[in-house]
Amino acid sequence: MWREKKSPASGAAQYVPVILPPEKPIEEKPMVDSSKSYLSSSPALSDSGRTLLGRSLVFKGDLSGNEDLVIAGQFEGTLNVQGHCVTVGPEGKVKADIQATRVVIHGSVHGNISVRERLEIHKTGHVVGDLLAPGISIEDGAYFKGKIEIIRDGEQESPKSYIPLHAETTA
């Protein structure tokens, strides 16, 4: 079956070298925790200008600031980060009225939410409250109970385009 070629002149076996392609280098990647994927899933969170409220932290009060916020713990009160993004992680629990440019929810939020650009509720999200935004995305499997109001382009200009803490309806 395998026969060596003999050189007609010398009668000796002739071996032909075979050049193998170099092996691809193995890229070592750290193991990714799927529960933390919400940190990188938001384009607004791709830079390092964000604050993390850790899983073991509980914060009560009014919070305002000029950077993105990731809530993995518990927050209760009012939250105002106009011009920035709020992300509620899968284990995050928020009881607050939120005002931000963008809100991404993987956890639980009880309160009214007002955003300038986009609101996303992912399948692990649980929201009870009224929503005011120009763009809203609710993934299959997410829980939502409340009222939705879509802002049109002309309405975004208003500096007071947010849901009041205690809205009263009149007929």
What is the band of 113 on the pLDDT scale with cuts at 50, 70, 90? very high
Q: Is the pLDDT of residue 156 over 90?
A: no
CA 157 vs CA 79, 113, 165: distances in Å: 21, 18, 20
Distance CA 103, CA 101 (A): 7
Between 21 and 83, residue with greater pLDDT: 83
Q: Please state the pTM of the whole predicted model.
A: 0.65
Q: Is the pLDDT of residue 19 over 70?
A: no
Q: Is the pLDDT of residue 10 over 50?
A: yes
pLDDT at site 67: 92
Q: Tens digit of pLDDT for each residue in 64-75?
A: 999 999 999 999
pLDDT at site 160: 46
pLDDT at site 44: 41
Q: Domain residues of the chain, as ranges?
A: 38-154
What is the band of 46 on the pLDDT scale with cuts at 50, 70, 90? very low
Q: Is the pLDDT of residue 2 over 80?
A: no
Distance CA 152, CA 161 (A): 11
* Average pLDDT of span 90-100: 96
User: Cα-flanking dihedrals φ and ψ of residue 72, to 5°?
Assistant: -105, -15
Q: Is the pLDDT of residue 117 over 80?
A: yes
pLDDT at site 79: 95
Residues in the chain: 171
